[in-house]
Structure 1
Amino acid sequence: MDLNNLARYFYTLFKDLGWGENYAVVANLVINLIILIFLAFLINALLRKFFTTFLDRLAKRTKTKFDDFLYQNKVIKHLTHLVTLFFIRWLLPKVLIDFAYLRNEVKVVIDIITIVILIWFIRSILLTFKDFLKSLNSFKDKPIESYIQVFMIFTWLIGFLFIFSILTGKSMVDFLTALGAVSAIILLIFKDTILGFVASIQVSVNDTVRIGDWITMEKYGADGDVIEINLSSVKVRNFDNTITTIPTYYLISDSFKNWRGMSVSGGRRIKRALIIKSTSIKFLKEDEVEKLKKIQLISTYLQDRQQEISSFNQQQNRDKNVLLNGRNMTNFGVFRKYIDEYLNQHSAINKEMMIMTRQLEPTPQGIPLEIYTFSKDKVWKNYEHIIADIFDHLLAAVPYFDLELFEYPTGKDFLREFSSQKSEKNMDENSIKNN
């Protein structure tokens, strides 16, 4: 028995039972549709079971997680839907054997659904490759999402062209010809997408930004780690856990700071200054030098330096009754040397990178004494602790060298000065009265 006779089996049965022509035809169609739907569900379930079993066996033989990503992204589901739709499309003309005028309309609907499911299937395949590549160390920081989005845009565009071709009955050539005429409009509509695509390629090729990089873009309030790079935007998780979205194109059109160089280097830079009052800087006398020799970090330095200066002054016959004559040490210079020695023995400082204490240009507030060095630990929290530890010590060490830090006077300072002046005035008045 061929399919045509099989499709009319119930029609013949109902006619033999004495049913009317119209009733027999409709009843035959309804039963055939029910059987077709049942067969479609059965084939779909069997195919899904088959592919799932196949992937399970494959997973046991391999260590890769590619099969897990296939299942997570519903590749099996879309594939079974496609096969089921092909089966329905093949069998439906037989089901509609008595309704020839409906065949074209139903075929159009099935073809459109097939195109949509096919696009979803392609998307699920691409997402599977994306997830798999992201699991590899060499691709973790690459903007794979951008390329997938571009490919999907073209896939959907081609899909819509096929759908319009099916609905209108015109060939793809006619649509492509019309598309060329409106290309300027399309370029205008997809301007941001095209710019984003170009930017994604440049970012990837030039290795400007990777996922996981810490970037700072003050113009857009971004200061944190890059968590996603796609076709239209870059997502940055700031350190307060807020998310900043930056258009991808701005990564090549605007300036920003990428801290990756610091992260992959041997240390993180410490660059901070102490402001020393210029009036507290002075030449050191012999007894003051002897006092500072008790500081172990610079005792050897002071001993050698003192001998060198003394020898020079004697050779040059300098009159040291006036301290300014000849060479001298200053408390500011000795303190600078102390900082160098302190940093060189500090366990958190990278000794293979620059360690320098330098005097900057005088300012109205005082003389900046800048510490320029690098910490071994680059983690932000630990880095701040290291800076605090260093400057806690240096701030406390300043008075040992008879130096003073600059700070603006507060209300208490003005009140203390006023009270002192008032007290002196009262003492003068009492002294006048007593005389």
Structure 2
Amino acid sequence: MQLESVSEWSRKFYHFIVQQGVSEGLAKNLNLLVNILILTIVVFLVDQLLKRIIIRSFAIFSTKTRTTFDDFLVQSNFPKYIAHILPLIIIIQLIPVVFTDFPGWGVFFLKLTDLYIAVLAVWLFRSFLRSMKNYLRTKDAYKDKPLDSFMQVFMIFTWIIAVIYIFTVLTGKDPIAFITALGAASAVILLIFKDSILGFVASIQVSANDMVRIGDWITVEKYGADGDVMEINLATVKVRNFDMTITTIPTYALISDSFRNWRGMQESGGRRIKRALYIAVSSIRYLSEQEIEDLKKIQLIASYLDHRQKDIAKYNTDNHADKSILVNGRNQTNMGVFRKYIDAYVKSHPAINKDMTMMVRHLAPTPEGIPLELYIFSSDKRWVNYEHIMADIFDHLLAAVKYFDLEIYEAPSSTDMKRLSSEGK
């Protein structure tokens, strides 16, 4: 009865203008325009009123709840999309009435509303996913997870379902026909969406294997990326480099190419210092007893030199070593004593982690000298402090070299060459 009553009202203007002598054909067209105008105004007013009521209600409700999820729903326009549902229902109910005299147009506009239903459903679901993503970002367990990738995966499936629904609405065919057509065009689809498909697979593997998290420091030399991961989504990974530039790399590059993730270092007890001093070979020599006595004034190695020298003296005596030449028997070298000094120095340094590897080692000789490498870990892993610790250690060692009568290799400069030339003359 209600629809019949509405239908009668929708034709009142038609009857009125027919009575005024207007032809029936023109009267139908004018009546249709008036009805569309009235429907548009009614739907617009209802939509605006509902938006204000629902958005206001959500805002009031969110302030009274402890959870922040409803706050994110408001921010993502979820209430606004909800407000569109009732006006849409009104349109669907009134289209047959408005287009009583034009059933073909009525069917056409009903199809348009079906398409809008699909789009509105996608918007609602996307808004819900965004709210869920932002809400999970507030939880410690999900702060470093690639939530953007998961959201995009869900949205891809949602759009696929929406497109299939739109296809069935427009063509009136069974969805199986559309899926069959997609299968026939699979080669073209794979080519067009290659990066998305690779990114989809990569996102799953990155998340499942916990290869990269938001906030990780990674280095990808191929793409010039060296910094913190800002965002991981289906197609790209954004890295904020330490020079504050941003590098974007394909997500699938994380599984197809080699990269370095520094998370293990950040979660460990220290950050590695691996650097060498290059000692000039010509400065390495045996130490005399008097020189050893002088080096005992260095407190860090005094007890070592005393104990070591006693062992060497006993060995040389037992083996009747001819000490008129230093090369006979066992001897200490300035290089060996300096290495022992470095070892004692880093072990006593307050900024070095004593529970991790501490090693001072010789490396193979090079044209630049003998590398004397420090392999230790600083307790402080922060970049600036780490650099300060490493600089302090090597400043001290470079200054201490001369006390052991050693020289650091340094390539001759143009000034050195000029001085040698002038001395030769």
| Normalised TM-score (structure 1) | 0.90
Q: Are 1:274 and 2:241 counterparts?
A: no
Which deviates further from its counterpart, 296-305 or 411-420?
296-305
Cα deviation, residue 331, structure 1: 0.9
Letter paired with 2:179: L
Q: Does 1:103 align with 2:106?
A: yes
Q: CA deviation at 1:369?
A: 0.5
Deviations 1:343-379 (A, max 9, x none): 1121211111111111112223221110110011212
Alpha-carbon shift at residue 198 of structure 1 (Å): 1.1
Equivalent in 385, 392, 395 of residue 392 of structure 1: 395
Q: Give the C-alpha shift of residue 265 in structure 1.
A: 0.6
Which residue of the other structure, out of 183, 187, 190, is the alignment partner of 1:184? Answer: 187
1:418 aligned to 412, 418, 421, which one? Answer: 421
| Pairing of 1:19-30 with structure 2 (within 5 A) | 21=24, 25-30=28-33
Q: Which amino acid aligns with 1:416?
A: R
Give the equivalent residue in structure 2 for 1:82: 85
Alpha-carbon deviation of 1:396? 0.9
- Counterparts of 2:369 and 2:286 in 1: how far apart (Å)? 17
1:71 aligns with 74
Aligned to 2:117: 114
Q: Which amino acid aligns with 1:72?
A: Q
Q: Residue 326 and residue 180 in structure 1: after superposition, are their counterparts in 2 closer, same or farther (change >3 A)?
A: closer
Correspondence for 2:35 among 32, 36, 59: 32
- Which of 210, 231, 234 is the matching residue for 2:213? 210
Within the candidate set 356, 361, 372, 1:369 is matched to 372
Q: Answer yes or no: is 1:344 the counterpart of 2:347.
A: yes
Q: Partner residue of 1:137?
A: 140
Between the two proteins, the alignment pairs up a number of residues equal to 422
Report whether the alignment pairs 1:265 with 2:242: no
Q: Does 1:175 align with 2:174?
A: no
User: 2:96 aligns to what?
Assistant: 93
- From 44, 63, 67, the equivalent of 2:47 is 44
Q: Structure 2: which amino acid aligns with 1:255? A: S
Counterpart of 1:59, as a letter, is S
- 2:371 partner SS: strand
Determine the C-alpha separation between the residues in 2 that align with 1:307 and 1:26: 118
Match of residue 123 from structure 1: 126
Q: One-letter code of the match for 1:39?
A: V
Structure 1 distance, partners of 2:378, 2:387, is 10
Shift of 1:246: 1.8
- 3-state DSSP of counterpart to 1:139: coil
What is the Cα deviation at residue 23 of structure 1?
Answer: 6.0
- Give secondary structure in 1 for the equivalent of 2:226: strand
Is the Cα contact below 8 Å between 1:82 and 1:118 reproduced in 2? no
What is the DSSP-based 3-state SS (H/G/I as helix, E as strand, rest coil) of the residue aligned with 1:137?
coil
**Is 1:238 matched with 2:241?**
yes
Q: C-alpha offsets along residues 200-240 of structure 1, whole Å, 9 cap, x if unaligned?
A: 11111111111111111212212111111111222222222
Determine the C-alpha separation between the residues in 1 that align with 2:180 and 2:371.
71
Instruction: Return closer, same or farther for 1:159/1:342 CA change in 2, 3 Å cut-off.
Output: same
Separation in 1 of the partners of 2:352 and 2:389? 9
User: Which shows bigger deviation, 307-316 or 106-115?
Assistant: 307-316
Distance 1:235 1:53 in 2: 37
Residue segments in structure 2 that go unaligned for 5+ positions in a row:
none
Amino acid at match of 2:70: D
Q: C-alpha displacement at 1:189, in angstroms? A: 2.9
Q: For 1:133, give the aligned amino acid.
A: L
Aligned to 1:335: 338
Distance 2:413 2:63 in 1: 74
- Counterpart position of 1:5: 8
| Aligned with residue 220 of structure 1, among 209, 218, 223 | 223
Find the aligned partners of 2:72 and 2:421 in 1 and give their Cα distance.
Answer: 77
Post-superposition shift, 1:4? 1.6
Matches within 5 A, 1:267-346: 267-346=270-349
Per-residue CA deviation, residues 98-151 of structure 1 (Å, 9 max, x unaligned), is: 333321122222222222222222211222212112221111222222222222
Deviation per residue, 1:23-47 (Å, 9 max, x gap): 6545543443333223222322333
Q: Is the 8 A contact 1:134 1:140 kept in 2?
A: yes
**Unaligned 5+ residue runs, structure 1?**
423-435
Partner of 2:159: 156
* Alignment TM-score, normalising by the size of structure 2: 0.92
Give RMSD over aligned pairs.
2.2
Q: Supply the AA of the counterpart residue of 1:189.
A: I
The answer for the alignment partner of 1:194 in structure 2 is 197
Secondary structure of the residue that 2:141 maps to in structure 1? helix
Deviation (angstroms), 1:20: 5.8
Q: Which amino acid aligns with 2:337?
A: V
Deviation of the 1:16 alpha carbon: 6.0
Deviation sequence 1:287-318 (CA, Å, 0-9, x none): 21122122122222222222332333334443
CA contact (8 A) 2:58 2:79 kept: no
CA distance in 2, matches of 1:321, 1:182: 92
- Which of 249, 259, 271 lines up with 1:256 in the alignment? 259
- Identical positions, percent: 55
